[in-house]
Structure 1
Amino acid sequence: MTEATGRRRRGRFLVGGAAVAVTAGAVTVAALGLGGGGSAAAPPPGGAPAAIAQVVRRTLTDSTTLTGRLDHGAAAPVVSRATGTVTWLPPVGGLVGRGEALLRADDRPVVLLYGTLPMYRTLAKDAEGPDVLQFERNLSALGYTGFAVDETYTKFTAAAVKHWQRDLGLPRTGRVAVDQVIYGPGRLRVAQHSVRLGASAAAQVLTCTGTGKVVTAEVQTAEAGWAVRGTRVRVVLADGRSVAGTVTGVGDEGSGGSGDSSGGGSGSQESGGSQGSQGGDTVRVTVSVADQRALRGARPGAVDIRYTAQRRENVLAVPVVALLALAEGGYGLEVVERAGGDGGDGTGPRTRIVPVRTGLFAEGLVEVSGRGIRAGTRVGMPE
């Protein structure tokens, strides 16, 4: 016969499930076993625990999964200030890199360069400023030499520009007009044409994204406290593969894809990638994947985002089903002090009920603490 010292054994329960191992009544558990006591009729006396588990010391992690979408992120507009008529546009889905044409106006190229400052003035000899430095860095990256990369547009810069203009088929003026260049954050992928051939070139002509794939999700604002820039998550693809991701945008914060570019670009320097929209009761969360090779073959569509809601290191834990709801409130464990006989000789295991405090519920386990509870303590379990 089971010896229960201190407190009689009460009904066992499963968090979020039905009570088990009771003969009458039912266990009432408040808020998924996270607080409040329960009560149930005592089980029939004389029964040994159906199974025995051990208290273990480990790290508990409570992970939450939500649904997101894998694609290239939200598209940003590309605005041209060129005069004349649009005579060519890159194909939808095409990639445009540094020094390549985003459009042709009157059959002259308007090229993409990388940078954050918009092209707001004509660059010519004796011009100075950070926009000169930005342009010269691009000119140097394209392989043109003979000038110092600094904030001063010299005659040597003008000479290099003439070579660049010759290669583009432009008049060799040595000056860079505002309608010859559009700056973007990096290599772009054409998402959509905004105008047709023959339209005025001084307009929004394209929308573009970054070349890398990102994951976006609309999250309830009240549940988005975990979503902070830099938070690490796991992205589970449709084929079951899991890749590491990082939150790079929340709400109206600019964000974008990983890979060759951080997002789309425009003449007005709008944020690229997933620009994050917040409306109503939801907020857009953008997750970037640094290892873009891991996304090869992954088609755009629904994916899972898993993040750690809570983490408790080096705690004592037992299976949730080992918890007992005590009549006087709170929870306990049936500690098995000796194995006893097999029940045929009139002896049985010696057990006692020990009240415990509960912490994190995760992975089918629950964090516990209490007098005499330590790693290796054996506790009774239902079948």
Structure 2
Amino acid sequence: MGRPTLGDPPAAGTEPPLPRPRRRRGRKAAVLLTAVALTGGAAVTVTGTGLLEGGGAEPAAAALPPATARISRQTLDDTRDVDGELGYGPATTAVSRKPGTITWLPAGGARVTRGRSLYRVDNDPVVLMYGSTPAYRDLRIGVEGRDVESLERNLRKLGYDGFTVDDTYSAATAEAVMDWQGDRGLDQTGVVELGRVVFADGAVRVETLEAQAGQPTAPGRPVLSYTGTEKVVTVRLDAEDQRMAAKGAKVTVTLPDGGRSSGRVTEVATVIEPGDGPDAEPLTRLEALVALTGGKAARAAVARFDQAAVDVTFTAARREDVLTVPVAALVALREGGFGVEVVEGGSTRYVPVETGLFAGGRVEISGAGLAAGMTVGVPR
């Protein structure tokens, strides 16, 4: 074999300060090598000098390294902290689909549930129901679709029966609708006209009022905006961070008072932000919504905050039960790859290693004869 090089630590996340050069070993001038390893998503640069003769076992180095560290067995997490905002998430605007006069509006911050009035036009209720398909047409006998199924499911939840919950608006569905209309003080037509129902994913919280009672309204005019009722965290990320913000990814949320809650990414959307200056290119970013999953304790902790800045820790990768050393312990070998300088008593030897995940200033390693607790050389 040729000579390895001992050297500067690979960069992992942020570039560390350059270490003091090691002592030369041997009479010949040491050779400066630079190796770049791309592993675990991080680019690593190593420079330095070293000694490794060919043939047989590696000989002891001529002098001990200036400092040492232990090989550890641990779980290694590649994490990143980003800023987030605790609130109720993005708001949706409810627009009028019918002409008339606004006769009633809920208060800002009010919670509206299934079957309740979201607002009133000409004193008739516009009713909230749960469903993922927006209302976009009159619902009557013979109509088919997911909006029909959502209506029937809501009617069943509200206590009406005599029909099958499917995607077909039948005569039995019309009978149940007439019963519902009578209970809400509406004309019993058996037809749910466009604008009578607003579908949302669940219960809503009124965010802002866009109209006032007594004002005229018309199709397309905003009436109010609403959000979900559960606290969520909104996070903006750079587009290249998509690997961390995948839907379903688990995170840790740190609250302003230092409390913590587990969380899970529920939605990821691409947003375009204007650039700085009139000629700047727009920026493509990711907006992730994080639901808090810490249970009752988490809900009690966040209840004290309305709008608040929080820290969100994403874990991009994890390696469990692996051997790790400080990144600075890596030595670039002349023949390629990396090694570590194992210290045994008053002598040292070089052991080639395979590198894995880089995180938190440490690196995952594997190689013949390596074990937790062994001592390796590092720059001072």
- The TM tier, using the shorter chain, reads 0.7 to 0.9
The aligned counterpart of 2:300 is: 296
**Letter of the 1:320 counterpart:** V
The aligned counterpart of 1:87 is: 103
Rate the CA distance shift 1:66–1:28 in 2: closer, same or farther, 3 A: farther
Greater Cα offset, 288-297 or 203-212: 288-297
- The runs of 5 or more residues in structure 2 that have no matched partner are 25-31, 37-41, 51-60, 275-281
Instruction: Give 1:7-22 correspondences, 5 Å limit.
Output: 16-20=16-20
Confirm whether residue 75 of structure 1 aligns to residue 75 of structure 2.
no
**Letter of the 1:160 counterpart:** A
**Cα contact 2:255–2:311 (8 A) shared by 1:** yes
Whole-angstrom CA distance in 1 between matches of 2:379 and 2:369 = 21
Report the count of equivalent residues.
339
Rate the CA distance shift 1:223–1:328 in 2: closer, same or farther, 3 A: same
Whole-angstrom CA distance in 2 between matches of 1:11 and 1:155 = 81
Note the C-alpha offset of 1:103: 0.8
Note the C-alpha offset of 1:94: 0.9
Say which SS state the counterpart of residue 177 (structure 2) adopts: helix
Instruction: Give 1:155-304 correspondences, 5 Å limit.
Output: 155-202=171-218, 203-252=221-270, 276-277=271-272, 280-289=282-291, 291=293, 293=296, 294-298=298-302, 299=305, 300-304=307-311
**Aligned mate of 1:127, from 129, 142, 149:** 142
Instruction: Give 1:34-53 correspondences, 5 Å limit.
Output: 34-38=44-48, 53=69
Rate the CA distance shift 1:226–1:68 in 2: closer, same or farther, 3 A: same
Q: Percent identity?
A: 42
Rate the CA distance shift 1:171–1:314 in 2: closer, same or farther, 3 A: same
Say which SS state the counterpart of residue 171 (structure 1) adopts: coil
Note the C-alpha offset of 1:65: 1.2
Q: Please provide the CA RMSD for this pair.
A: 3.7
**Letter of the 2:347 counterpart:** R
Say which SS state the counterpart of residue 127 (structure 1) adopts: coil
The aligned counterpart of 2:115 is: 99
**Cα contact 1:37–1:326 (8 A) shared by 2:** no
The aligned counterpart of 1:350 is: 347
**Cα contact 1:94–1:189 (8 A) shared by 2:** yes
**Letter of the 1:289 counterpart:** A
**Aligned mate of 2:132, from 104, 112, 116:** 116
**Letter of the 2:144 counterpart:** G
Alpha-carbon displacement from aligned partner over 1:47-95 (angstroms, at most 9, x marks no partner): 7667654423444222111112121111111122123100111111111
Greater Cα offset, 100-109 or 241-250: 241-250
| Structure with the bigger percentage of strand | 2
Say which SS state the counterpart of residue 139 (structure 1) adopts: helix
TM-score, structure 2 normalization:
0.74
Whole-angstrom CA distance in 2 between matches of 1:156 and 1:117 = 22
TM-score, structure 1 normalization:
0.73
Say which SS state the counterpart of residue 169 (structure 1) adopts: coil
**Cα contact 1:37–1:329 (8 A) shared by 2:** no
**Cα contact 2:90–2:227 (8 A) shared by 1:** yes
Say which SS state the counterpart of residue 162 (structure 1) adopts: helix
Note the C-alpha offset of 1:160: 3.1
Whole-angstrom CA distance in 2 between matches of 1:64 and 1:106 = 53
